[in-house]
Amino acid sequence: MIIIYLYFFILSLLEFGNCITINAVAFTYDIATEIYTLLRDEFNKYSIENDLGIQLDLNLFTPSNSTTNINDYGSMIDLLLSKRNEKYDLIFYDNIYSRRFSPHLLDLYDYLDDDHIILYDREIILKSCVYNDKLVGLPVMLDYSVLYSNIELLNKYNKEIPKTWDELYDTGKYIMEEEIKRNNNTDLIIYNGLFTDTEIGTCSLYEFIYSYRDRKDSSFPELTSETAINALKMIKKIKNDLSSDSQFKTSWSVTLSKIRGDFSKILFLKYWYTGTIDPVIKTSALPGLKEGISGSTIGGYNLGINRYINDENRKAAIRALKYITSKEVQRKAVIEKEIFSLISSLYEEEAVCLKVDCNFFRAIQPVARPTYVTEDYSSYSEQFREHAYEYLYGDKTAKEVLKNIEDITKIYQISLSSKDSLLGLLYLIIFSVISTIMLLSLSFLFMEKYELCFSFLPKTFWVFIILGLIIMMCESFTLYGELNTTKCHLRPIILSYGYTLHFVPVLYKLLINFPEENSISIWISENKYIFMALFILLDTILSVLAFISPYDVNTVIINNGLNYLTCDMSSKMGLIINYLSLIYKGLIMVFVLFFIFLEWNIQKTYFDIRCLISTVLIDFLSFIFLVILICINLKEYYIKYAIHFGILVIFSVSNFISLYIIKILR
């Protein structure tokens, strides 16, 4: 073997004298099981044999040759790529970083044939290699966790490798009690769990919940479902009855040393698959809720291409990636390194199955981690563990912590469903009742008994006032469902039209009642509908200008709270238009107050003028509170929206009473 490598080394010196050199970078925790050296050597051998004129150099980071861990490695690569650095052509990266690195990697859909891509499991590729419809990498190897069982202990008590978690619990409990009874053996590790405070802990949680699904083809259970709750309960049951907090928190490095050391004091151990170790140890797929159902979180590394390298290196890197991810090389890696390949057809080949246990590999049921649920998966993963461990190692309930986990990424919204909150349904009922009362009250306008009560304004204008108040309350319905830019634009428009319809008639009356008759008041009196239309036209102009100004719909992230969407004006022009609209509404209030002051002592409108004072004050305070509410982000979304709904209801009802109902009751 040494002679062969020496031959290729000497040959490479001769062949690679004037060739293109491309650089790859990778990270591994365990130098004994890494495959990157094999992939490099296989490609360089292929390049020499086919006169490609390409040499692949490998920069391999390990805990032994650097202080780098996987998070530091990811940050280092991210920093280099963000600076458009061309140091590395090929990037081996943890598959959880596909989203993070996607802007900096080539879209392999543009460079690889369909026949090459379809070799790989499509569902897993979509979840771990594709982001924004870009294929940013292909998997060169997968890590997956398995169950290591002590065959000697199982045979001693006539027990089999468990296929369900109940079987693992029953077998473990029986052997633990028998070992204590017969040998006073209190040091036996029944099951380690591997629920550490690292990414491995997240993997353990995620795959355990996945293993509790009802059928093999079922998707990942909803986090707040009874399935997920029962899965967490089983984890805690195993920990409390068969293990301990300290054993469940044992680090990966200690677990690895146990697998490669003395296994006599261990019954079951969960860890990443590391190949055949010892005849005493038997590997199998992790158990599940039912026999035939399992779950193993996908770990491992994808291979992507730096998009910032020059054309010559790009062509060479594409050639290297295509060969490294070919079925031929993957077959060699499966046989020699016992890796798990995503080319499932390999495990149907006789030549492969003579070397590895194909039934074992086919039994693995991989599940991709939720790396795309948020831009910062590392932070999500950390919060996922923190909440779950509040149940596993603390006093909170499984239902409570799963709800908190769901809340990390769930975007809450108002709806008629009572699943999350009754607020949406309650507001619809309140709106319907108030609107119905307002519309029915219009009948008083046409009753002879109340004609004098409403002489302050023409009947049509009273209708405008009532419709304006109803329209104001309608603004809240733009908050129902998922927020989008159209709804963001509609909100101020609805408020603006509603305010104009209910308040301009009041301004009209004050102007025509001006103590000293003038040409303006005469014109307004004779052209009341044109006067109203002018204000509506001004609203329309401002609305059109605001509509062409872009809004951003942003997510308000509330730590340990409920996330929701909010509208943010993304242009200075839009902000100016919104400010102009507010100033315009403020000027109407100022004019109304000015004319109220001038007409304060007019006996004919004495009562109406005093009612208007309370109306203006309520309107002013309502708008102030509404602007403040829009500008702040409350922790609980339903409190924010409840206050929002409340302001509009109080605004409309108080105006309805002070402008309309009080005249009937007078």
Q: Which amino acid is at 455?
A: S
Q: What is the pLDDT of residue 65?
A: 62
Gap between the Cα atoms of 517 and 548, Å rounded: 42
3-class secondary-structure state, position 283 = strand
Beta bridge partners of 306: 105
Any idea of the CA torsion for 125, 127, 128, 131, to the nearest 10 degrees?
100
Gap between the Cα atoms of 547 and 494, Å rounded: 12
pLDDT: which is higher, 657 or 277: 657
- Cβ(117)–Cβ(139) under 8 Å? no
* pLDDT at 287 > cutoff 90: yes
* CATH, domain 414-665, list 1.20.1070, 1.10.1740, 1.25.40, 3.40.50: 1.20.1070
Q: What is the CA radius of gyration of the chain?
A: 35
* pLDDT at 11 > cutoff 50: no
Q: What is the pLDDT of residue 396?
A: 95
Compute the C-alpha angle 355/357/362, nearest 5°.
130
Round the average pLDDT of the chain to a whole number and report it: 85
Gap between the Cα atoms of 305 and 31, Å rounded: 24
* pLDDT at 29 > cutoff 50: yes
Query: Which parts of 513-571 fold into alpha helices (H)?
Result: 519-526, 528-547
Q: Which amino acid is at 451?
A: E
pLDDT digits (tens, 9 = 90+) for 307-347: 999 999 999 999 999 999 999 999 999 998 888 888 989 99
3-class secondary-structure state, position 42 = helix
CB atoms within 10 A of CB 6: 10
- The whole-number average pLDDT for the span 41-57 is 94
Beta bridge partners of 54: 20
- The whole-number average pLDDT for the span 449-453 is 78
Q: What is the pLDDT of residue 658?
A: 80
Gap between the Cα atoms of 19 and 599, Å rounded: 94
* pLDDT at 420 > cutoff 50: yes
pLDDT digits (tens, 9 = 90+) for 185-225: 888 999 999 999 988 999 999 999 999 999 998 999 999 99
- The whole-number average pLDDT for the span 287-293 is 95
Q: Which of 85-94, 268-277, 405-414, 647-656 has the lowest mean pLDDT?
A: 268-277
Q: Pull the structure tokens for residue 664.
A: 């009937």
What is the CA 517 to chain-centroid distance, rounded?
Answer: 65
Gap between the Cα atoms of 308 and 327, Å rounded: 28
Closest of 58, 57, 67, 70 to residue 29, by C-alpha: 70
CB atoms within 10 A of CB 182: 10
- Cβ(282)–Cβ(148) under 8 Å? yes
Gap between the Cα atoms of 150 and 190, Å rounded: 10
* pLDDT at 134 > cutoff 80: yes
- The whole-number average pLDDT for the span 270-289 is 85
3-class secondary-structure state, position 3 = helix
Closest of 559, 584, 580 to residue 569, by C-alpha: 580
Residue 13: which pLDDT band, with cuts at 50, 70 and 90?
very low
Q: What is the pLDDT of residue 5?
A: 46
* First CA to last CA distance, the chain: 107
pLDDT: which is higher, 597 or 361: 361
Closest of 169, 244, 163, 252 to residue 204, by C-alpha: 252
- Three-state secondary structure of 580-600: HHHHHHHHHHHHHHHHHHHCC
Give percent of the chain with pLDDT exceeding 70. Answer: 90
Q: Pull the structure tokens for residue 306.
A: 């730096």
- The whole-number average pLDDT for the span 37-47 is 95
Q: Which of 224-238, 607-621, 634-648 has the lowest mean pLDDT?
A: 607-621
Would you say the CATH fold of 414-665 matches that of 145-297? no
Residue 160: which pLDDT band, with cuts at 50, 70 and 90?
very high
Closest of 111, 109, 81, 110 to residue 93, by C-alpha: 81
pLDDT digits (tens, 9 = 90+) for 607-617: 666 667 777 77
- Residue 371 DSSP code: T
Gap between the Cα atoms of 320 and 6, Å rounded: 22
Could you say which architecture CATH assigns to the domain 2-142+300-355?
Answer: 3-Layer(aba) Sandwich (3.40)
Q: What is the pLDDT of residue 661?
A: 82
Residue ranges covered by each domain of the chain: 2-142+300-355, 145-297, 414-665
* pLDDT at 487 > cutoff 80: yes
3-class secondary-structure state, position 457 = coil
pLDDT: which is higher, 590 or 354: 354
- Cβ(525)–Cβ(517) under 8 Å? no
The enclosing H or E element of 230 equals helix 226-242
Gap between the Cα atoms of 508 and 520, Å rounded: 11
pLDDT: which is higher, 278 or 341: 341
The CATH topology of domain 145-297 is: D-Maltodextrin-Binding Protein; domain 2 (3.40.190)
- Top mean pLDDT of 159-173, 249-263, 362-376 is at 159-173
Gap between the Cα atoms of 495 and 25, Å rounded: 57
* pLDDT at 618 > cutoff 80: no
